[in-house]
Structure 1
């Protein structure tokens, strides 16, 4: 079968297209993509606006501002950039990149976190910062500093990076799998405490020049301080925490947490009680070999090292569900397989989409390769291939394209 000769048609049936247009024209609802796992969430606008207004009423975090205050702040940003140029800390090319003469004020929206509560999901704030005054500043900081956290041993890049750490010699029958979530990380780092940790870890680095460190600190302060957005015609400023939607937000949060971990966690007296301590942004995983009583002491110790981080945890002797992989014990060794949250929704690209044929072939191949990498037993791999086959057939893929996930 020649896939390049497929005749492409709309991947929605007439009835589905009619329903979609009705939803689009309905002013009383909001159709949103959930925070994780794909799918669609429909929420009535009254509920959505109520949740948004409740969040923005937090006067500690947000402040209503005028258009004039925004313009004054933007002028201050230009002045700081001009000072950095006059002091020789940045060149003219960098100055041109960092300056935005006709910025667009970011807008805020929120996406539902259905993985936390499917029936009444809380909302995650997102700021659309494209063409904003601080976007190039955030990009500069992210580009300069990303390597500072990427190369740290305790920080994971992805699930595959995590699996490479799970070696046979780490196995122990009495091992306890522990995951610790840092609650609302981006909205919990206070400005001054965060910047102090940020500056400390920058000045410990030997790869960046002194000038680059000073520029990154100055730009990071501007990104955090002048975080403006609008909602329903009103202007707001985020007064504390990490700037929502900033390109450098994950890098900033990772560096702040890395400094905290290095000072209080990784070299603590409790470090002898684990064989693995890894973190992916705000999700910590630990392979604990100590007693339950010692873990309780460690948890109390963790909480006492910080005034702004809060934690929730899960523990299990049998299996670990972390990122999109599940680790479990079987026959005296670790086994792994693909993990999907209960809120998973099959949202693979539909085969009747007008995307080029090679995109669809690569999606199929990529998913089978991912399944092969993440599963260690033949049984789990064959089960994963069967699931993928069902998912792709459900999305209109021909059997001869998706039936290639063979047995091990």
Structure 2
């Protein structure tokens, strides 16, 4: 049994160089592996010449030079000087490769779970354990270009620029594992934000190709019927098949003939079949749905004593119950699943009253209401203020309200960004908390290169970040909260803010300019 409540125990486990700790690919479990076993498995993956190739050294600077050549070329069109500077003028660091253990696909682990029936399962070095490859690096050379790709699909950008930028991202995905350097030679560039978009567009094109082939083979009416029953989420597909089984085999052959590098595996059943987290059940001519959990799912929800904002923890029972009420179609089965959920949450020390209230609130909606899609047409465009949660921090909302007039009238801050009052008001209204790393995240942390950059901007979240070693980030708009609580409420605050802003030029002025540039240059249509 692991008792991680003691910082000394966590530190001892963290520094143990004979083991590797990773979160399971699915199910929420934590996996402790022998380091030699883990490294052997990962190196076996990286030695596949079809997908990876060893390179001599870090190639981040060479890749960044290609991006600079791209943005300075004729195809960059109406790209502004600030946009070019954002894409090319930053310090890079090499991405790191690691693997998340797919415990749900290991027969040895499943057998151990069935035999041991405990909260902690011992299954040393299972040879059939595979890993999900992950490339992680917040500051690789292609990351910024990849992050702004959805916004490049605008009329002011040339088609040649979009395609060449995509080639750079896909063909220059380099990373390190240990002291060795590798480049991905096949497949969508792992770890890039553009990868899901690129994959979805590819499958969308293949679906159009499939429709044409079905119409040629079986006629337009049958093709329309099959496509209307075909459902897909990214690369997971589902279809209701009313035709004969022989045609189903032909259909799979058509799918696998759409592209030389794509292969569909198929699972079929006359009674029930899982799709994502939904179990579809067929009884005669009637379909019903139930929640689907993998056998390796730990139901390890956030512990109520965890250092997270109170409103986050109080919302968990309701949101989990709401999910069950939306998925489970039969009322009796739904009530059974809600009782199971209550037992899982009690193990995580959630108050029973809080759980009951969350379940009661979720059951107050009809299933059709829960399944309906809410309109996003009138959604206000705002810049969120994000900070790492710390229960000892002061509430910054009241401080920002007191600062509004000072920031609005001060000569120095007027030059930093436009319409200070409205910006600050929106920022306060849209306050968000980033949870701190828990014990699992700290123990399973990936060690990136120490060449990290401070005061960099996270494009994916639209916020200012300071990158620290590993995967964690500490977001802030102003420095130390305790310092500012004392500092901002003193007399002659405007004069002191003016002096302090000059002292904190790199932290405040440049990062806010970068933040506003990104939102205006790439996000606003």
Q: What TM-score do the two structures reach when normalised by structure 2? A: 0.59
What does residue 83 of structure 1 align with?
73
The C-alpha deviation readout for 1:258-299, integer Å capped at 9, x for no partner, is 111111247623635635101111111111110001111212
What does residue 107 of structure 1 align with?
96
- Would the alpha carbon gap of residues 58 and 329 (structure 1) be closer, same or farther in structure 2, given more than 3 Å must change? closer
What does residue 280 of structure 1 align with?
233
What does residue 121 of structure 1 align with?
129
Q: Per-residue deviation at 1:133?
A: 0.8
Q: Which residue, 136, 150, 159 being the options, matches 1:213?
A: 159
1:243 aligns with 2:189: yes
Q: Per-residue deviation at 1:71?
A: 3.1
* Of 48-57 and 58-67, the range deviating more from structure 2: 58-67
SS at match of 1:365: helix
User: For the Cα contact (< 8 Å) 1:134–1:223, is it kept in 2?
Assistant: yes
- Tell me the distance in 1 between the aligned counterparts of 2:73 and 2:59: 21
The C-alpha deviation readout for 1:295-338, integer Å capped at 9, x for no partner, is 11212222233211112111011112101111213474321121
Runs of 4+ with >6 A deviation:
14-18
Q: Which residue, 318, 321, 324 being the options, matches 1:365?
A: 318
- Tell me the distance in 2 between the aligned counterparts of 1:256 and 1:13: 46
Report matched runs for 1:131-280 at 5 Å.
Answer: 131-144=139-152, 208-209=154-155, 211-265=157-211, 268-269=214-215, 271=223, 274=226, 275-280=228-233
Q: Which residue, 31, 35, 41 being the options, matches 2:25?
A: 35
Report matched runs for 1:310-321 at 5 Å.
Answer: 310-321=263-274
- Tell me the distance in 2 between the aligned counterparts of 1:13 and 1:234: 35
User: For the Cα contact (< 8 Å) 2:60–2:141, is it kept in 1?
Assistant: no
Q: Which residue, 61, 75, 98 being the options, matches 1:71?
A: 61
- Tell me the distance in 2 between the aligned counterparts of 1:68 and 1:311: 35
What does residue 112 of structure 2 align with?
none
What does residue 255 of structure 2 align with?
302
The count of aligned residue pairs is 334
User: For the Cα contact (< 8 Å) 2:196–2:234, is it kept in 1?
Assistant: yes
SS at match of 1:242: coil
- Tell me the distance in 1 between the aligned counterparts of 2:245 and 2:224: 14
Q: Per-residue deviation at 1:21?
A: 4.4
Name stretches of at least 5 consecutive residues in structure 1 with no aligned partner: 1-11, 146-207
Task: Work out which of the two has the higher radius of gyration on C-alpha atoms and give 1 or 2.
Answer: 2
What does residue 196 of structure 1 align with?
none
The C-alpha deviation readout for 1:207-248, integer Å capped at 9, x for no partner, is x42735333212111101111111212222222221110111
Q: What TM-score do the two structures reach when normalised by structure 1? A: 0.75
RMSD over aligned Cα atoms? 2.4
- Tell me the distance in 1 between the aligned counterparts of 2:320 and 2:74: 47
- Tell me the distance in 1 between the aligned counterparts of 2:26 and 2:356: 28
Higher relative contact order (CA 8 A, sep 6+): 1
- Tell me the distance in 2 between the aligned counterparts of 1:95 and 1:79: 10
- Would the alpha carbon gap of residues 130 and 267 (structure 1) be closer, same or farther in structure 2, given more than 3 Å must change? same
- Tell me the distance in 1 between the aligned counterparts of 2:268 and 2:3: 46
- Would the alpha carbon gap of residues 16 and 403 (structure 1) be closer, same or farther in structure 2, given more than 3 Å must change? farther
What does residue 345 of structure 1 align with?
298
Q: Per-residue deviation at 1:391?
A: 0.8
User: For the Cα contact (< 8 Å) 2:230–2:238, is it kept in 1?
Assistant: yes
1:393 aligns with 2:346: yes
- Would the alpha carbon gap of residues 290 and 46 (structure 1) be closer, same or farther in structure 2, given more than 3 Å must change? same
- Would the alpha carbon gap of residues 224 and 265 (structure 1) be closer, same or farther in structure 2, given more than 3 Å must change? same
SS at match of 2:333: helix
- Tell me the distance in 2 between the aligned counterparts of 1:14 and 1:209: 54
